Chains A and B, each alone.
Chain A
Amino acid sequence: MGSYILRRLGYMAVTLLIVTILGYIIIELPPGSYVESEVERLRAQGGNLTQGQIDALYRRYGLDKPEYVRFWLWISAFVRGDFGQAFAYNLPVSQIIFDRLGLTLAFSLSSLVFSWVVAIAAGVYSATHRYTLPDYVIAVLQFIGLAVPNFLLALVLMVFAQNVFHMQVAGLFSSQYVDAPWSIAKVLDLLNHLWIPIIVIGASNTAWLSRVMRANLLDVLNMQYVQTARAKGLTENVVVWKHAFRNAIHPLIMVLGSSLPGIISGETIVAIVLNLPTTGPIYFNALIQKDMYLAGAFLVFLAIALLIGNLGADILLAWVDPRIRYE
């Protein structure tokens, strides 16, 4: 197991390098640069820039060198903890992203936990109560969850919360708490704002996972070893949760790692709609504005999060299924 994890860590480093290079190329790919759009903007405002001024701008942002040199300078500084400058904000990248990155991770993890808990409960229930009324109700909810886009769900819930509960749901805090010192009331207010984004971000994932859970569990419940477990005289709960569930959870764990990007990109759209101070909206703007170092830093951190998620999923899988452990 130890050597397995070490080997995986080696692969992760290689993958990370490749992802970084590819990501960098993709960010560079669209024509133009931050300076060009900056020049455009200044010209539109009536300013007239000389070639010398433009060159100076390029130098100032480090965009005068060839791409591979820029990549090397960026990545070597990155490893040393210097993530470069965010053009549009005129601030170091690290200052902009770190507090937001924490919030993004918190959101993603809580919606992951939310979708897993709900998906497992709904999936197991509908598999063990197949063709009953609750099973059909769950199926309808699942299809709604899959079919309704995140941002729409966010809008609907916002309107609903505002009109029915008279809550102000955009942002993280109600206006009176934004600058207030931390207190119990402020925490409660935060929780009040959290549930909508967590549900919205997790909705389609939950719906999909619970469909998968139901289908897998139905398959596993037909297995001979489930019959063996019943033949031992075990209670139905032990049969389902100990003998069937552990075999059915398998495909869910396999998709655990790969469901992270979906959650993170879903989070972006939802954060824009709900005006949340997470990384999503900033990453989105950085890409539009070709704010390279900012976008690049996000990319690397998201890739790291993803790789860690995948490693976690693989370790979990090996723990759940001995056949993988002994390969």
Chain B
Amino acid sequence: MSDKPGPKAPEQDIVLRVNDLHTYFYTDLGISRALNGVSFDIPVGKVMGVVGESGCGKSVTALSIMRLLPKSSKIIKGDITYFRRPQHNGSAGASDQIKQKSENGQQGFWIDENAGKVQEIRLNDLDPMGPEMRHIRGAELAMIFQEPMTSLNPVYTIGDQISETIMLHQRVNKAEGLRRAIDILEKVGMSNPKLIVGNYPHQLSGGMRQRAMIAMGLSCHPAVLFADEPTTALDVTTEAQILDLMRDLQAQFGTTIVFITHNLGVVAQMCDSVSVMYLGRIIEQTSVDEIFYNPKHPYTSALLNSIPHIGSRSKERLQPIRGVVPDPYSKIVGCPFHPRCNAFMPGKCDKAMPAQTVISPGHNVRCFLYSDEVEE
């Protein structure tokens, strides 16, 4: 795997590196191979889009990194490396606790001499519910979910729920936690945040709830924010407002964002780079400009042709991708897209899996049209 993954940036600029990640689900129906070797680097301070049809593994990728996978699933192979920068390493209070930990001779990476340097943390080696992962989760890696209506606990106030994260990671008392919650609610454009902190989720609209979720996600200034289709459940106007807000906040805080969506229009608006996923693999990865003006993989092209363009000639018809996504329970020999591909080369695409190859700086693709390199 040494030659391939991702657009190789120097480590200084990378906050998260995922290499050859395999996540399987063990269900009554058999093994569902949700991720089959996902590799990418997330550059610091950028917005990376992840697109693909429903079921291709976008959410599972984020949940694998957050170590929030359900018990029925397992990361069976691959590495997730988090490059921790000092400014993200929790709060002063929390690092005392950590220092103690290293004195007990646990986990070497907590050692304080590393302060000032970038620490490499292999997330897949941590216990998902153990103290190290819990310390990272919510503070350094945060996530907001698709369904704003159900993402907030109905029996606690917005203030309680946001301050809970702040109190947990920044070790402040309730009053200070609430004050910071009001601050962050103001930053996400909530009018009258002093009133909102006393409200329950059912008293807010979907858009307001998603703002509250974003506030919660950003409350501890995380290194990476995973936004899993944060606007899918909202109406178009609200969606536009939330996207605007996220762009503004990203510019303001410099937070790295992984933006999961199935909407290429949103990618064009939000992202710097994009990874296109198909059946648990990334099949093309490049900058936003390249994806729209110079797509390489037949699946990417097909995806682009299936969405309406503004200004396109009305005669041009939308092309749905023919066929359906194969189910992740069956194992497909060769490139998983070959049964639906317009450029299918018999004897080649149905025999082996193309490797992820760099075709120009910052642009890599998995397709035999561009390289004969085979994944072992």
Q: Are B134 and A231 in contact (CB under 8 A)?
A: no
Residues in B whose Cβ lies below 8 Å from that of A232: 137-138, 164-165, 168, 216
Instruction: Flag if B68 contacts A234 (CB, 8 Å).
Output: no
Q: B219's closest neighbor in chain A, by CB?
A: A232
Question: Would A233 and B147 count as touching, CB distance under 8 A?
Answer: no
Name the CB-closest residue of B to A239.
Answer: B129
B134 touches A323 (CB 8 A): no
Per the 8 Å Cβ criterion, residues 118-134 of B in contact with A are 129, 133-134
The CA of A27 and the CA of B108, in the complex, are separated in Å by 78
* A residues near B68, Cβ cutoff 8 Å: 227, 230-231
The closest CB in chain A to the CB of B147 belongs to A224
The answer to whether A323 and B135 touch across the interface, beta carbons within 8 angstroms, is no
Query: Which residue of A is nearest B71, CB measured?
Result: A130
Of B78-86, B151-159, B272-280, B319-327, the one touching chain A: B151-159
Is the pair B153, A228 in contact by a Cβ cutoff of 8 Å?
A: yes
Within 8 A of B (CB), among A20-42: none
Is the beta-carbon distance between A231 and B143 smaller than 8 angstroms? yes
**Does B117 make an interface contact (CB < 8 A)?**
no
How many residues of B sit at the interface, in one of the four size bands? 20 to 34
B155 contacts A322, C-beta separation under 8 Å: yes
Per a CB cutoff under 8 Å, which of A230, A323, A326 touches B137?
A230
Point out the residues of chain B lying under 8 angstroms from A234, CB to CB. 134, 138, 164, 168
The answer to whether B66 and A322 touch across the interface, beta carbons within 8 angstroms, is no
Q: In the complex the two chains form, what is the Cα distance from A116 to B87 in whole Å?
A: 48
CB distance from A230 to the nearest CB of B (A): 6
Q: How far is the CA of A233 from the CA of B137 in the complex (A)?
A: 5
Chain B residues within 8 Å of A231, by CB: 66, 68, 137-138, 142-143
- Kindly identify which residue among B152, B165, B200 contacts A233, using a CB–CB cutoff of 8 Å: B165
Cβ of A242 to closest chain B Cβ, rounded Å: 8
Closest residue on chain B to residue A249 by CB atoms: B155
For A, the interface residue count at a CB cutoff of 8 angstroms equals: 21
Residue of A233, A320, A323 most packed against chain B (CB within 10 A): A233
**Does A3 reach chain B (CB closer than 8 Å)?**
no
Q: Which one, A230, A235, A321, contacts B155 given CB within 8 A?
A: A321
Q: Which of B133, B135, B155 has the most CB of A within 10 A?
A: B155
Query: Which residues of chain B from 205 to 219 have a CB within 8 Å of any chain A CB?
Result: 213, 216
Which residues of the partner chain B approach A227 to less than 8 Å between Cβ atoms?
A: 68, 145, 151
Give the complex CA separation of A235 and B66 in angstroms. 14
Q: In the complex, A205→B143 CA distance in Å?
A: 41
Collect the chain B residues with CB atoms within 8 Å of residue A225's CB: 150-154
B136 within 8 A of A: yes
Q: Does A246 reach chain B (CB closer than 8 Å)? A: yes
B-facing residues in A232-271 (Cβ within 8 Å): 232-236, 243, 246-247
Contacts of A236 in B (CB 8 A): 129
Pick from B135, B139, B150: contact of A224, CB under 8 Å: B150
- A320 near B138: Cβ-Cβ < 8 Å: no
Bound: A234/B138 CA distance, A: 9
Q: How far apart are A250's CB and chain B's nearest CB, in angstroms?
A: 9
Q: Is B134 a contact partner of A233 (Cβ separation < 8 A)? A: yes
Contact residues in A for B135 (Cβ distance below 8 Å): 233
Contacts of A233 in B (CB 8 A): 133-139, 165, 168-169
Q: Do A322 and B154 form a contact, CB below 8 Å, given A227-B145, A231-B68, A234-B164?
A: yes
Q: Does residue A91 face the partner (Cβ distance < 8 Å to B)?
A: no
Q: Establish whether residues B153 and A229, one from each chain, have CB atoms under 8 Å apart when the complex forms.
A: yes
Q: Chain A nearest CB: distance from B227 CB in Å?
A: 12
What residues on B are CB-neighbors of A323 within 8 Å? Answer: 154, 200, 202
Q: Does B203 contact A (CB under 8 A)?
A: yes
Closest Cβ of chain B: how far from A3's Cβ, in Å?
20
A191 contacts chain B at the CB level, 8 A cutoff: no
Distance between Cα atoms of A22 and B58 in the complex (Å): 62
Decide yes or no: A322 and B200 within 8 Å by CB, A224-B147, A230-B137, A233-B135 being known contacts.
Answer: yes
Any B CB within 8 A of the CB of A288: no
CA distance A180 to B135 in the complex (A): 62
Which A residues from 292 to 323 make CB contacts under 8 A with B?
Answer: 320-323
B200 in contact with A228 (CB, 8 Å): no
For the complex formed, measure the closest distance between the CB of A158 and the CB atoms of chain B, giving whole angstroms: 44
A223 touches B150 (CB 8 A): yes
CA distance A229 to B134 in the complex (A): 11
Residue pair B155, A228 in contact (C-beta under 8 Å) = no
Show 17 A/B contacts (Cβ-Cβ < 8 Å), sorted by A: A223-B150, A224-B147, A224-B151, A225-B151, A225-B152, A225-B153, A228-B151, A229-B153, A230-B137, A231-B143, A233-B137, A235-B134, A247-B153, A321-B154, A321-B155, A322-B155, A323-B154
CB-CB nearest 5 A-B residue pairs: A233-B138, A232-B138, A233-B137, A224-B150, A225-B153
**4 extra interchain contacts, Cβ-Cβ under 8 A, other than A231-B66, A322-B157, A326-B203?**
A228-B145, A232-B164, A233-B137, A323-B200
